[in-house]
Each structure stands twice: as C-alpha cells, then as structure tokens.
Structure 1
Amino acid sequence: MSPIEFFDTHTYRMVFFGTAVIGLVAGALGPFVYLRKQSLMSDVISHAALPGALLAFLSAVLLFGIDGRNMLGLIVGAVVIGTLAALAANAITRVSKLAIDTAMAVVLTFFFGVGMLLLSVITNGPFPGKGGIQDYLFGNASVITLADFVTSISVGGIALVITALFWKEFAVRTFDPDLAVVLGFRARGIDTLLFITIVIATVIGVKAVGLVLMVAFVITPPAAARQWVSSLRGLVLLSAAIGAVGSGVGAYLSISWGGVPTGPVIVLTLFAIFVCSLLFAPRRSILTRARARRRARLALRDSLLSTGGAR
C-alpha cells in the first residue's frame, strides 16, 4: 500500500496518528520510570488500568445510565486506579522489608486478578454497550475514532504540561531523592504527581495496544535513546521521537501487510530501533565497547612485549 493510499483512508489515518501520539507521550515520560529503575512500574500501571477502566464502565452504566465506553471516562477510571497501584507498590517498600520489584509484582497480580474478575462479570452480564470492552486486554488499534484521538492528545498534553512545569522537581527526585528532601521538596507529593503523569502515558494506549504490550511503549524508547544521549532533556526528547516514529512506522507496516495486529508490529519496530541503538550508538554501543576492549588488549600486549624486550 502506498503512503498516498494509506493517508487517504480515514481509519488508517486515525490508527497512524493515534498510535504516534501514544508513542510520543509514553516515550517522553518513560525515562523517569527507566532512570528510577522501576521499569516494571509501567506494567503494574497498565494491568491496574484494566480494573480502573472496567469500574468506570460499570459506574457509567449502573449509576448514570449512560454509555460506559466513553474514552475520557475510561481514562479517568484507569488513571485513578493506576495511580493507586503505583503508590501502593511504593508504600509496601516503605513499611516492609520487601524490595520494590517484589512489591510491584504483588500489586500487579492483585489488580490484574480484580480486572479479570470484573471482565468476566461484564462479559457474562446484561450490560448495554459492553461489546468491545475486552479490547482493553489485547488492544485493537482499528477502533480508534476521531474523538478517541482528540482525547488522547488532550489528556497526553496535560501530562506533558505537568512534566514541563515540575521538571526540576521530577529531575531531582529521580536522580537524588535525598537531595530533594534536603531542598524542601515534598517527596510523596512529587512522587504522586510523577506517577499520575506516567499513568496517563500508559493508560491512553491501553485501548489501542492492550495492557499486555503497553509496557514496551513506556520502556523501550528510553532504553534505546539512552544509548545516544547523556542528559535528561536529550533523553526525554529523543525517547519521545523514537516512540512517535516507531509507533507510526509500526502502524503503517501492520496495515500495509494486511491482517497483522498493530500492537505487536509496533513493539517489534521499537525493538528493532533498540537493537540498532545497542549496536551502532557512537559512544555506548556494543560494537564501540568491543572495539575499545580490543584496542586495550592490543595496547596491553604491546606494552608487555616491549617491557619483555627491554629486559
């Protein structure tokens, strides 16, 4: 399929630009999770987004008698529960001897279990408008509408604005938590605000990509960008670019090939960018380090030979 034919089709345009926005927002906010060494946190959030979205659906249908599939309402529910899950994981590490990875795994499985229970209740119950609600599990990019696209831009834009406004606080808290306390920053308040932005970055893509694959959108772009840059600002900008370009290219390829799920193709595209970064980044790549080790061995050998010859 040619690019002209691709962009002439409304559905394809929505898939392309919708996934690109998801990739950009997730890529821009992913570095803060990556640098805090809490990569599993995005997985916790995405799995907690399932019960959050389903609770929002049930509330809309049972309490207000309206269509429960409104994307903004589902995002609000997912953000609330996702933020609670992130805070719960960190709270467990503060009040117990459990490591953060163990706490995140426990929280992830609990919220995912609740989500699967709610999904079963909704699927088997007489709830109007429940068709397609299972897409939150594995995603379905083809269902992105113009309203969904506008909502993603608006909500994602809010997360980016919050990050820009609290850039100094987020940066200090990420690199030196103790210094943040000394400077008078409210640690829990900053963490809560940071997790809210990360939750937003994660949940806006759950409908299109699914909670199973959303972790790749948050972690793979910063992991790839880290090979090329050394500053936080550069990492955020490059990670956002990798997320947007990788998502757009993956969406285009999945549709051009025909009958291929969009989410997995995007993940494979992001992984390909990550592998290229590992191999070819000028200062941190595997090839660069291999050449440096080879030169060091040769220099050591020459030094030993010259020393032996001098004796």
Structure 2
Amino acid sequence: MSLLEFFGNHTYRMVFFGTLTIGLVSGALGSFAYLRKQSLISDVISHSALPGTLLAFLVSVTVLGVDGRNMIGLIIGAVIVGTIAALFANFVTNTTKVHIDTAMAVTLTLFFGAGMLLMRIIANGAYPGKGGIQDYLFGNASVITIADLRTSLTIGVLALVLMLVFWKEFALRTFDPDHASVLGLNGRTVDVLMFTTIVIAIVIGVKSVGLVLMVAFVVTPPAAARQWTTTLSGMVALAAIFGAIGSGVGAYLSISLGKVPTGPLIVLTLFAIFVLSLLFSPRRSIIASMLSRRRARKQLKVQLEASQ
C-alpha cells in the first residue's frame, strides 16, 4: 500500500496519528519510571486502568445518565484509579518491608481482579452502550475517532507540559530523593505529579492498544534510548522519538500487511528498535563492547610483548 493511499483513508489516518501520539507521550514519560527502576509500574497502571474505565462507565450511565463510552470520562476514571494504584504500591514499599516488585504484583492483581469483576457485572447487566467495552482489555485501534484523537492529543500535551514545568523536581526526585528532601521538596507531592503524568501516558493508549500491551509502550522506548544517551533530556527526547516512530511504522505495517493486529505489531516494531540499539549504539552496544574488549586485549598484548 502506497503512502498516498494510506493517508488518503480516514480510518488509517486515525490509527496512524492515534498510535503515534500514544507512542510519543508514553515514551517520553515512561523514561522516569524506567530511571526509577519501576518499569513494571506501567503494568500496574494499565491493569488498574481497567476498573477505572469501568467505574467511569457505570457512573456515567447510572448516575449521570450520559454516554458511558465518552473518552474524556473514561480517561478521568482511569487516571484517578491508576494514580491511586501507583501511589498505593509505593506507599506499601515506603511503610513496610515489602519490596517494590512485590508491592506492584499485589497491587496489579488486586485492581485487575476488581476490573474483571466489574466487567462481568456490566456484561450481565442491561447497561446502554456496553457493547465494545471489552476493547479496553485487548485494544482496538480501528475504532479511534477524531474526537478520541483530539482528546488523546489534548491530554497527552497536558501531561508533557506538566513534565516540563516540574522538570527540575522530577529529575531530583528520580536521581537523588534524599537531596530533594534536603532542598525542601515534598516527595509525596512530586510523586503524585510524576505518577499522574505517567498514568495519563498509559491510559490514553488503553482503548487503542489494550492494557495487556501498554507496558511495552512505556518500557521499550526508554530502554532503547538509554543505549544512545547519558543525559536525562536526551533520553526523554529520544524515547519520545522512538515511541512515535515505532508506533507509526507498526501501524502502517499492520494495515499494509492486512489482517494483522495493530498493537502486537507495534510492540514488535518497538522491540526491533530496542534490538538495533543494543547492537549498534556507539557507547553501550554489544558490538561496541566487543570492539572495546578486543582493543583492550591487543593493547595488553602489546604491553606484555614490550615488557619482555
């Protein structure tokens, strides 16, 4: 399929720009989760986004009497519950002897179990507009509308603006939390802001990609970017670029190949970028390390021969 034909189709354009937005925002904000060694927090957030969206659906339908699948309402519900889940996992770690990975696993299963219970309740109930609500479990990029794209862009830009406004606080809290406390920064407040932005980056992609695969959008671009740069700003920018390129190329290939699910192919594209980074980045790649060791062996051999 030619690019002209691809971008001439409304549905294809929505899929391309929708997933590109998700990849860009998730890659940039996922860098902070990666650097805090809490990459799996994205898995916690994406799974807790399920009960958040379902609660928002129920409240919209039963209490407010409006369309339960309104994306803004669903995102608000997912952001609130996802932020609670992320903060809960860190609260357990900070106040008990439970390690962060264990706390995240417990939180993930707790919120995901609640989400599956709510999904069964909705499936068995007579709720208007409940058709397609299961797409939030596995995602369906083909259902992205102009309104969905505008919402994702608006909320994604808001999250990026928050990151830029509180850049110094996020950086200090990420690399040296003790020094941040000495300077008078409120760790809990910074954590709330940071995890809220990460939650936003994740939940805007749940409808298109599904909660199962969103972890790859948050983890893989920063992991690839880390191979190429040693600065925070460079890593965030490069992770955003990798996320956008991987998402856009994956979306194009999924449509061009035909009958190939978009989310999984984007994940494979992001993985290919990660592998290329591991192999060919100038400082940290496997090839660079092999060449460095080879040069070191040669220098050592020359020194030993000279000493004899």
Question: Would you call these one fold, judging by a TM-score over 0.5?
Answer: yes
Q: State the alpha-carbon separation in 2 of the partners of residues 164 and 303 from structure 1.
A: 51
Corresponding residue for residue 159 of structure 1: 159
- For residue 306 of structure 1, what is the amino acid of its counterpart? A
- For residue 69 of structure 2, what is the amino acid of its counterpart? R
Corresponding residue for residue 78 of structure 2: 78
How many residues are aligned here? 308
Q: CA deviation at 1:106?
A: 0.5
Tell me the alpha carbon deviations over residues 14-52 of structure 1, each in whole angstroms, 9 at most, x when there is no partner.
000000000010011011000000000000000000000
Corresponding residue for residue 252 of structure 1: 252
For residues 120-269 of structure 1, the aligned pairs below 5 Å read 120-269=120-269
Corresponding residue for residue 27 of structure 1: 27
Tell me the alpha carbon deviations over residues 239-281 of structure 1, each in whole angstroms, 9 at most, x when there is no partner.
1111111101100000000100000000000000000000000
3-state DSSP class of the match of 2:229?
A: coil
The alignment yields a C-alpha RMSD, in angstroms, of: 0.8
3-state DSSP class of the match of 2:66?
A: coil
Q: CA deviation at 1:65?
A: 1.6
Q: State the alpha-carbon separation in 2 of the partners of residues 293 and 102 from structure 1.
A: 37
Q: State the alpha-carbon separation in 2 of the partners of residues 92 and 288 from structure 1.
A: 41
Q: CA deviation at 1:304?
A: 2.8
- For residue 254 of structure 1, what is the amino acid of its counterpart? S
Q: State the alpha-carbon separation in 2 of the partners of residues 123 and 249 from structure 1.
A: 35
Q: CA deviation at 1:195?
A: 0.4
Tell me the alpha carbon deviations over residues 65-114 of structure 1, each in whole angstroms, 9 at most, x when there is no partner.
21100000000000000000000000001111011111001101110111
3-state DSSP class of the match of 1:228?
A: coil
Q: Which runs of 5+ in 2 are unaligned?
A: none
Q: State the alpha-carbon separation in 1 of the partners of residues 102 and 235 from structure 2.
A: 28
Corresponding residue for residue 36 of structure 1: 36
2:35 counterpart of 1:4: no
Q: State the alpha-carbon separation in 2 of the partners of residues 49 and 278 from structure 1.
A: 31
Q: State the alpha-carbon separation in 2 of the partners of residues 81 and 137 from structure 1.
A: 16
Q: State the alpha-carbon separation in 1 of the partners of residues 44 and 268 from structure 2.
A: 21
- For residue 279 of structure 2, what is the amino acid of its counterpart? L
Q: Which runs of 5+ in 1 are unaligned?
A: none
3-state DSSP class of the match of 1:131?
A: coil
Q: State the alpha-carbon separation in 2 of the partners of residues 183 and 221 from structure 1.
A: 31
Q: State the alpha-carbon separation in 2 of the partners of residues 300 and 117 from structure 1.
A: 64
- For residue 82 of structure 1, what is the amino acid of its counterpart? G
Q: State the alpha-carbon separation in 2 of the partners of residues 239 and 275 from structure 1.
A: 14
Q: CA deviation at 1:298?
A: 2.3
Q: State the alpha-carbon separation in 1 of the partners of residues 63 and 217 from structure 2.
A: 34
3-state DSSP class of the match of 1:256?
A: helix
Q: State the alpha-carbon separation in 2 of the partners of residues 37 and 244 from structure 1.
A: 23
Given the two structures, how large is their TM-score scaled by the length of structure 2?
Answer: 0.99
Corresponding residue for residue 111 of structure 1: 111
3-state DSSP class of the match of 2:236?
A: helix
Corresponding residue for residue 299 of structure 1: 299
Q: State the alpha-carbon separation in 1 of the partners of residues 112 and 296 from structure 2.
A: 50
